[in-house]
Chains A and B, each alone.
Chain A
């Protein structure tokens, strides 16, 4: 079954304690990205990756890091979380080959609370 898997689904942490949210896809997609979803703001892109070892900033990258060492994995790293990073996070992947845009597959989401 084609899927994007995020872990954990729920996380409560304290300010300043480093954390990693993992994302893995089994569709051999080149493109992966992270979004955060906040009330009244919709989804905003944090970082994206066009392929292994290729990452770039999205619209709201401050306070986040990513890495893409393998094609299937795209972890989101918060080196020093702050309360304004409390949000619902989604990982997504899609293929980029062919003349038309292909469907983006989303993970189930990670609800992060920073206290």
Chain B
């Protein structure tokens, strides 16, 4: 079936360090891929998305490229800030209409100054 696997956290970095959070997926067909971010005490917000192979989603300095050959959608940021501390969820949509999302377990990022 469809599933998403994220690297285990927590990830602890110093400010301005490079960030990578790995995400791989298993899916039939051609899912869309998403990264959501959850700041402390808040709901989930869409960070970026990619709807087809080789698409690159980007937002707020974060990037992720849809790699069909490796079934991956790794999240990267060149220089993290304290304000990036949050839980990050990789997700895929089950079908063409993109109605149902399947989430990874989440990766907690903690950035210190």
Total A-B pairs, Cβ < 8 A: 55
Q: Is B62 an interface residue (CB 8 A)?
A: no
- In the complex, what residue of chain B is closest to A48 when comparing beta carbons? B100
Assess A90 versus B44: contact at CB under 8 Å? Given A100-B32, A101-B93: yes
Q: How large is the interface on B (under 10, 10 to 19, 20 to 34, 35 or more residues)?
A: 20 to 34
A43 to B100, CA, bound (A): 12
Interface 9-residue window, one of A61-69, A73-81, A105-113: A105-113
**A residues near B101, Cβ cutoff 8 Å:** 45, 92, 104
Contact assessment for B46 and A41 in the assembled complex, using a CB-CB cutoff below 8 Å? no
**A residues near B49, Cβ cutoff 8 Å:** 101, 103
Most B CB atoms within 10 A — which of A100, A104, A107, A108? A104
Contact assessment for B44 and A103 in the assembled complex, using a CB-CB cutoff below 8 Å? no
Contact assessment for A50 and B99 in the assembled complex, using a CB-CB cutoff below 8 Å? yes
Q: In the complex, what's the smallest C-beta–C-beta distance from A85 to chain B, in angstroms? A: 19
Assess A96 versus B98: contact at CB under 8 Å? Given A43-B89, A101-B93: yes
Q: Is A72 an interface residue (CB 8 A)?
A: no
- In the complex, what residue of chain A is closest to B32 when comparing beta carbons? A101
Contact assessment for B32 and A40 in the assembled complex, using a CB-CB cutoff below 8 Å? no
Residue interface mask A86-98, B partner, CB < 8 A = 1: 0000101010100
Q: Which residues of B contact A (CB under 8 A)?
A: 32, 36, 42-46, 49, 51, 89, 93, 97-101, 103-106
23 contacts between A and B (CB under 8 A): A42-B89, A42-B104, A42-B106, A43-B44, A44-B103, A45-B100, A48-B100, A50-B99, A58-B100, A90-B44, A92-B101, A94-B99, A96-B97, A100-B98, A101-B32, A101-B49, A101-B93, A102-B98, A103-B49, A104-B101, A106-B36, A109-B42, A109-B43
